[in-house]
A and B are shown apart, each in its own frame.
Chain A
Amino acid sequence: MLELLAQTGLNAVYAASYISLIAVGLVLIFGVMGVINFAHGELYMAGAYTVVLMYTDFQVPFFLAVAMGLIFVGCLGLAMERALFRPLRDNPLGGLVASIGFLMILQAVAAMGFGVRMEHIAPVTQAVIEFSERVRLPVARLYVIIAAVVLLSALWIFLKKTRFGWALRAAAQDPEAAALQGISIKQTARIAMFIGAGLAGIAGALTAPLVSVNPHMGHSVIITAFIVIIVGGVGSLEGAVVASVAYAIIHTFMTTFYDGVIADIVGLSLMLLVLIVKPTGLFGSADRA
């Protein structure tokens, strides 16, 4: 029993890692751009397909392929900012619809380029860390955990210690006041989109060998990300991380000890409950809706 608990705990840590990578990106984009990026799950998918293409088809080393995923998806984010969100700045519903349109395009491109079947990726490493016979952590999962810790710490330092980060936070809190202070809204929007999309891309790239890669893989991810950003508080990066961990623990344990559908229902009910009691989320204060 203790071993099962330990194993489930490890699974939860892994889940928390990639969920928080995705959710933090979504929060960052929402905070700075004021738009809900429905295509965020498809950015994650695009990251996974970059690895399929580069690592499996072109035999590029795995970590180089992952880095390419980050940069490629980050650039997709920049393209979205320029083509969709900037012209639709004053139209939040329009931004949402445009991101749904972009989602359909990405899905169609993936389906046309790779087919709707699931992609099988040769495992990057077969190595497994064995804590005991039944408590095991595949090294491929460890990569995801390490990436999440390193990247999110780096992001935190970037936001708190650098001038760019300061500008980004100012723009997220009050775009008009930030503009008056000489902060370029366009510049901060670009940085936020690149980082936000890039984080989703790297999450997809790193998990590509661990999940079934298919054009519709973004769907369940975006729902999870929504739950996490609502519970954590829209606009709060720290809240998103804490909520990711909490959600991963609850969901993983519910799935292991009860069943997956019930775990999903509990997750969604949690979000509904937070919306009813405190719509700005447990950690949120900024209200941009």
Chain B
Amino acid sequence: MRRLVIILLAACALLALPHGLSFSQQEILVFLTINILLVSSYRLLTLTGEWSLAHVVIMGVGAYASALYSKELGVWVPVSILLGGATAALLAVLLSFPLFRMKGFYFLIGSFAAGEIIRLLWKRFRDPFGGPKGIKGIEPMPDFSIGIYDFDFFEPVSYYYLSALVVAVCLWVLWRIERSPVGLTFHAVHWQDKLAEASGVNLRAYRTLAFAIASGFAGIGGGLMAHYVGTINPNSFDVDLMVYVLTWAIVGGTGTFYGPILGCVVLTVLNEIVLRELGFEQMRPLIYGLIMILSILFLPKGLESIVQHLTTRGRGKGVEEQRAAE
């Protein structure tokens, strides 16, 4: 009962949220919502202990695929976004053959190379990817009405509601996976892969599974983005954005489900709203870089460790999560 009340209150807060913001802040809110999906899906991959540098490019695969399906084949936009996610997941399965011959540092570099190759292919092939200029005039989400509210998807508020719903469903699925025996097996693969293998776990299959799921949700995020912005090009998915994802995950902490989300929200608000409002336009990357360095030096377990510290004082429940973090 208490849980239901909390969920309802949170839903109301999320519904009311955009109305207190300026237009540009509402736009940022849409991107923030999509980025939460991006960083949460990234965490699923890190559960198996692998850190990829191709996640943002794979999000781009979803974006390109969804844009092309709707534009060239006339697929209905909501379906094409899902198909974009499926395409990204499928590509991840293909990429897993070369990439999972590597581990750790080599996987990191290998995934980076694979991502850059994909980006260069978009750049090189004008047909169908549009070359360096990318794809323009992507089909927008069709407007519709649910009686009490008319969805007009040129309005950021409407798109925020839609993407918040989609992202909430995706997060719920990710959370279910993590809390299931599958999630436990991901942890097992991370901490002691030989023992997991001796217990009958097919390591390659589970690594591929995590990679494919993470990529699928990143692809859905890419689709959501493409149909909102209306134009994508190879530079929309470059290393800079990947660096941001990495930073959100590490500053927030990857020990808990909410850690990366926390990192994404806190840093985005800090970067886009506080620093912008204070007039530090040019200095933003500098301050951002400084925050990265300071947090890795002085808060190596991420923002989540502060939250855990606060919650363990009141209740004993946090102990479990703290363990999961270590």
A residues lining the B interface (CB < 8 Å): 36, 83-84, 87-88, 91-94, 97-98, 100-105, 107-109, 111-112, 219, 223, 226-227, 230, 259, 261-262, 264-265, 268-269, 271-272, 275-276, 279, 289
Contact = CB atoms under 8 A, between A and B. Distances in A.
Contact of A289 (B104, B114, B123, B284): B104
Interface string B283-306: 111101111110011001000000
Most buried by A among B98, B124, B289, B292: B289
Nearest to B239: A219
Contact of B292 (A97, A107, A219, A272): A97
Given A92-B105, A97-B296, A275-B110, A105 B289 contact: yes
A269 B116 CA distance: 10
Contact of A269 (B51, B104, B117, B296): B117
A102 B293 contact: yes
Contacts of B51: 93
Nearest to B294: A101
A87 B292 contact: no
5 contacts: A94-B300, A101-B289, A105-B289, A109-B286, A279-B102
B292 A271 contact: no
A278 to B, nearest CB: 10
Nearest to B97: A276
Contacts of B102: 275-276, 279
Interface stretch (B60-68, B169-177, B243-251, B311-319): B243-251
Contacts, number: 113
Contact of B116 (A84, A88, A102, A223): A223
Interface of B is mostly: helix
A104 B239 CA distance: 12
A219 B109 CA distance: 15
Interface in B233-264: 239, 243, 246-247, 250
Given A91-B296, A269-B113, A271-B109, 9 more contacts: A98-B293, A98-B296, A101-B291, A104-B292, A108-B285, A226-B113, A261-B123, A272-B114, A279-B101
B101 A112 contact: no
Contacts of B7: none
B289 A36 contact: no
- The size bracket of the interface on B is 35 or more
Interface in B108-146: 109-110, 112-114, 116-117, 120-121, 123-124
Given A100-B243, A100-B292, A261 B124 contact: yes
B24 interface: no
Chain A to chain B: the 8 pairs with minimum beta-carbon distance, closest first: A104-B289, A101-B292, A289-B105, A108-B286, A101-B293, A105-B289, A108-B285, A101-B289
B106 interface: yes
